[in-house]
Structure 1
Amino acid sequence: MADLHVELVAADRSIWSGEATLVIARTTSGDIGILPGHEPLLGVLETGPVTIRTTDEGGTVVAAVHGGFISFSDNKLSILAEIAELADEIDVARAERALERSRSDADAGAERRAEVRLAAAAGDR
């Protein structure tokens, strides 16, 4: 089976590009897994982690994604995010402070973003 080419791009920069065997993302219709040969699709991304299983032995890339679009055709997957951070770029202490602040302010959107950043930093799906 052929691999799929993935481009993960945020509004302000390219986040990751490469070959993968599987990508899992959260859309408005629920979580979706994309394998090579998947049917063409266009979807709206929800705030959530994106997991990319790379073609490297045991390689996995995890990113916290906050909104955007996902498009797949001809074994090319484009993830166009409003905001995205790779797990190893996330400042965990800052995300924990943001989570506490959001809970005390009863800001559900900020709370969800902070939770996703912490989950991505921990490598959770």
Structure 2
Amino acid sequence: MDQEKEMAFLQQQQEKMASALQHVGDGAAPVVASAEVWEPAVDVVADEERLLICMDLPGVAQEQIQIRLNDDRLIIEGERRPRHEGLRLQRQECPGGPFHRCLFLPPGVTSEHLSARCNQGVLEIEIKGLTAEDQVQVDES
């Protein structure tokens, strides 16, 4: 069931990209559409006691972030709301709208191993029990 949701999500993104490409060169402004799903930058660091996932999310309130663990997949989703309501956008380099990242964890990680907090626009997810020897794979969509 979860794989079906992931496939449906990927198909939806592919359709959006194909639709956007149809309008390339038709005079449309070079603005990142806020309806598109974007992927925040992520760093994974570790020591002898824990693994730390750091994700850049400036402008995103902690309440707008959902973190869930599905088997060996850590899924992080949320939304960065527009910062300039009512103003005419001339250029946009900072992505907005919904975001999504998926990380593959070693087997055996449970929600009891996880803790998360936002610190100055950086989401920090600590996983106790994983070390520098453990591999975390970041999904590169």
Higher radius of gyration, 1 or 2: 2
Structure with larger RCO (C-alpha < 8 A, sep 6+): 2
Return the structure number with greater strand share. 1
Return the structure number with greater helix share. 1
TM-score, normalized by length of structure 2? 0.28
